[in-house]
């Protein structure tokens, strides 16, 4: 996993070398092991490879900063490498094919690179390295843009095709890796993170449409727009071409979630086989691999299956824990540790430490985030970086397998629409197993709707037509959460939290073959008899400790956000709410926001993460729009 950046001046004017270097430097945390550049003339194919201060020593290229601006290169690629597969200089990027007619910068991993390499060798291709990036390059050379159908992995890459004078960029099917860009018809600039684009003069203008979606609806990463007006992201499952001065974006993969309710008697072992194979593929690495372990169904399943492929006691797990038992899952984590003999590593996030790190957290995320729960994952990634470079995580399991209790509302409505008499049984089972959940979900939804009133009337009236009307049928909701409403934001956090500490995070539940298989399953293989993730619970019998396999509650990596807000964070939040900058923002009624917090502090109302979004929005504005270094 790495950081990539590039500039393509379609006007043919020379690229700004200082900007290229600054863009790369801003991504150093993503790849501290190596640094590389290539400058290209898009007209005649001339090129010049350059190094930086972090480049591998055996590379003898000229340093990029020694080059003056009197050059004729209108295209530049920059790369920061986190060495995972093939640690040698042969895997250095930017990389070219043998005749220098193709150049690539690549962030991610193609897990089936071994098999693809064999296929390509049978077709006459020869390789100089053992890296997956070279496989991507040769796959494009052989199959063109159709190479995307061959890849199983996570990626964001850019390829310059010298012969066609074409730029080809792509992002993986589910958006595990990020790709941001700006294009004004004259210049195309791309990078792994938005902060890198800001180094080349991208405007720090807030996107009010996305800000409304975030504050009113809690949405993030749900469109190709970002919080910065004019900065876009290439959406998951899309590729981008620039040829003959025109930019074209096309979709290359799609799925549909089966809306059938009842499963027929049959063999569903295909799920376990695909899940196990996904984990096995994601253990391919030339550096140490660890696993996240929250104590929930998803991460525990990954740890237990991973144990089949590593020596006993060699698997390292990393967990976020709290002294407050309401948020602590060590009783479940210890069950997995006892079953597998894995090495456990605990980290204890605190509100005091959060205050010390909030500026770094805001900076690395690039955009506002939904709640403080990501701080738990932030701590896990930092702890893991002490001993491993790759970490398997359970992200995506909830959206794929209907792991949230709120899905039951959609399931019950689907049963009613289809006039399925099992709706009565399912309702009774749900109320028996989760007696408080239905009421709590109802209250939370009602409170969130009321808290939209904290927005300024002018701002709210301007964008109220953007309010999301959530679908009522389960199949469509699962599809939307997987591709738009939930998972993209979670993968955003996953990428930034892991990369902040130079960790490659891998997510076995999002293997595209597994996703396609689960999408075809009937709904009662996901929800049934008041339980979630039905098929996962079935196939993990005998592998997963029963205490976890039959868990009815759900937590994941969380923080005591509501407790912190009423105690250690209270004075800090108050200072923000009373600050001149907060009170002058056009997005909210500052007095109403203050009143909501005061009602929480006095116990009149419950805290929800909707309130955090107003704090986060202010901090983001200070850091990225006002360009203040001290945002607290």
In this predicted structure, which of 64-78, 126-140, 432-446, 460-474 has the lowest mean pLDDT?
432-446
pLDDT category, 268, cuts 50, 70, 90? confident
- Classify 251 as helix, strand or coil: strand
pLDDT category, 107, cuts 50, 70, 90? very high
Q: Token digits for 524?
A: 């009662």
Cis bond leading into 56, ω under 30°? no
pLDDT category, 29, cuts 50, 70, 90? very high
For domain 2-108+153-202+228-251, give the CATH number. Answer: 3.60.20.10
pLDDT category, 15, cuts 50, 70, 90? very high
The percentage of residues in the chain with a pLDDT greater than 70, rounded to a whole number, is 99
Domains 2-108+153-202+228-251 and 269-403+472-549 share a fold: no
What's the whole-number mean pLDDT along residues 238-255? 97
Q: Which of 499, 539, 559 is nearest to 80 (CA)?
A: 499
pLDDT category, 556, cuts 50, 70, 90? low
Q: What is the pLDDT of residue 263?
A: 83
Rounded to whole angstroms, how far apart are CA atoms 498 and 505? Answer: 6
Model confidence over 310-339: pLDDT tens digits? Answer: 887 789 999 999 988 888 899 999 999 999
Q: What share of the chain is helix, strand, coil (3-state, %, to 5)?
A: 45, 15, 40
pLDDT category, 558, cuts 50, 70, 90? low
| Residue 581 scores a pLDDT above 60 | yes
H or E element: which one contains 514?
A: helix 512-519
Q: Which of 542, 557, 490, 494 is nearest to 329 (CA)?
A: 557
H or E element: which one contains 63?
A: strand 62-63
SS (H, E, C) 75-144: EEEEEEECCCCCCCHHHCCCEECCCCCEEEEEEEEECCHHHHHHHHHHCCCCCCCCCHHHHHHHHHHHHH
| pLDDT, the chain, mean | 94
Superfamily for domain range 269-403+472-549 = HUPs (3.40.50.620)
DSSP 233: E
H or E element: which one contains 318?
A: strand 316-320
DSSP 263: P
What's the whole-number mean pLDDT along residues 245-259? 96
Spell out the domain ranges in the chain.
Answer: 2-108+153-202+228-251, 269-403+472-549
195 versus 439: the higher-pLDDT residue is 195
Q: What is the pLDDT of residue 535?
A: 97
| Residue 557 scores a pLDDT above 60 | no
What's the whole-number mean pLDDT along residues 50-69? 89
Model confidence over 439-473: pLDDT tens digits? Answer: 777 777 777 778 888 999 999 999 988 877 766 79
Model confidence over 479-535: pLDDT tens digits? Answer: 999 999 999 999 999 999 999 999 999 999 999 999 999 999 999 999 999 999 999
The percentage of residues in the chain with a pLDDT greater than 90, rounded to a whole number, is 85
Q: Token digits for 179?
A: 């790709």
| Residue 269 scores a pLDDT above 90 | no
- Classify 164 as helix, strand or coil: coil
| Residue 209 scores a pLDDT above 70 | yes
**All residues at 6 or more sequence positions from 83 whose CB lies less than 8 Å from its CB, including other chains:** 33, 34, 91, 286, 287
Enter the pTM of the model.
0.96
């Amino acid at each position: 996993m790495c950081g990539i950046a590039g500039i393509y001046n379609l006007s043919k004017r020379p690229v700004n070398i200082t900007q290229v270097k600054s863009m790369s430097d801003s991504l150093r945390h993503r790849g501290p092991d190596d640094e590389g550049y290539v400058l290209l003339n898009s007209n005649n194919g001339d090129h010049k490879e350059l190094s930086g201060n972090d480049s591998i020593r055996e590379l003898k290229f000229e340093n990029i900063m020694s080059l003056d601006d009197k050059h004729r290169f209108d295209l530049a690629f920059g790369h920061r490498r986190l060495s995972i597969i093939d640690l040698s200089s042969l895997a250095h990027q930017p990389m070219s094919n043998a005749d220098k007619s193709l150049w690539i910068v690549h962030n991610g991993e193609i897990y089936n690179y071994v098999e693809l390499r064999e296929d390509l060798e049978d077709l006459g291709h020869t390789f100089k390295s053992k890296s997956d990036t070279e496989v991507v390059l040769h796959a494009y050379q052989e199959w063109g843009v159709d190479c995307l159908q061959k890849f199983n992995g996570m990626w964001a890459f850019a390829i310059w095709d010298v012969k066609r004078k074409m730029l080809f960029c792509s992002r993986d099917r589910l958006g595990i890796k990020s790709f941001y860009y700006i294009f004004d018809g004259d210049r195309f600039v791309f990078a792994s993170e938005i902060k890198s684009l800001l180094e080349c003069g991208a405007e720090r203008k807030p996107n009010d449409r996305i800000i409304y979606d975030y504050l009113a609806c809690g949405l993030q990463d749900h469109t190709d727009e970002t919080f910065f007006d004019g900065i876009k992201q290439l959406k998951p499952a899309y590729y981008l071409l620039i040829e003959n001065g025109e930019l074209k974006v096309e979709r290359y993969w799609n799925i549909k979630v089966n809306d059938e309710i009842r499963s027929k008697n049959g063999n569903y072992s295909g799920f376990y086989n695909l899940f196990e194979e996904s984990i096995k593929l994601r253990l391919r690495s030339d550096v140490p691999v660890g696993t996240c372990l929250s104590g929930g169904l998803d991460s525990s399943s990954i740890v237990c299956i991973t144990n089949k492929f590593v020596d006993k006691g060699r698997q390292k797990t990393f967990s976020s824990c709290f002294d407050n038992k309401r948020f602590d899952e060590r009783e479940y984590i210890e069950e997995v540790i006892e079953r597998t003999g894995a090495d456990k590593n605990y980290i204890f996030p605190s509100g005091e430490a959060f205050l010390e790190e909030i500026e770094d957290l805001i900076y690395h995320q690039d955009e506002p985030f939904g709640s403080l729960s990501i701080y738990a994952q932030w701590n896990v990634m930092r702890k893991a970086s002490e001993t491993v470079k790759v970490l398997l995580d359970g992200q995506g399991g909830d959206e794929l397998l209907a792991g949230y209790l709120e899905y039951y509302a959609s399931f019950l409505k689907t049963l009613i629409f289809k006039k399925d008499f099992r709706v009565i049984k399912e309702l009774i089972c749900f109320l028996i197993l989760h007696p408080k959940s239905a009421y709590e979900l109802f209250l939370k939804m009602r409170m969130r709707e009321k808290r939209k009133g904290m927005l300024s009337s002018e701002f709210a009236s301007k964008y109220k037509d953007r309010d999301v009307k959530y679908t009522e049928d389960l199949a469509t909701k699962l599809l939307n959460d997987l591709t738009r409403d939930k998972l993209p934001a979670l993968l955003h956090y996953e990428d930034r939290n892991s990369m902040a500490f130079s960790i490659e995070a891998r997510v076995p539940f999002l293997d595209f073959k597994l996703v396609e298989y689960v999408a075809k399953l009937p709904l009662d293989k996901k929800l049934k008899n008041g339980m979630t993730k039905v098929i996962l619970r079935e196939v993990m019998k005998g592998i997963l400790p029963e205490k976890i396999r039959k868990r009815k509650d759900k937590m994941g990596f969380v923080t005591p956000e509501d407790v912190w807000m009423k105690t250690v964070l209270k004075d800090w939040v108050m200072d923000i709410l009373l600050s001149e900058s907060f009170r002058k923002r056009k997005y909210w009624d500052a007095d109403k926001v203050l009143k909501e917090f005061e009602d929480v502090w006095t116990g009149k109302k419950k805290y929800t993460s909707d309130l955090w979004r107003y704090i986060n929005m202010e901090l983001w504005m200070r850091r990225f729009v006002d360009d203040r270094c001290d945002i607290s």
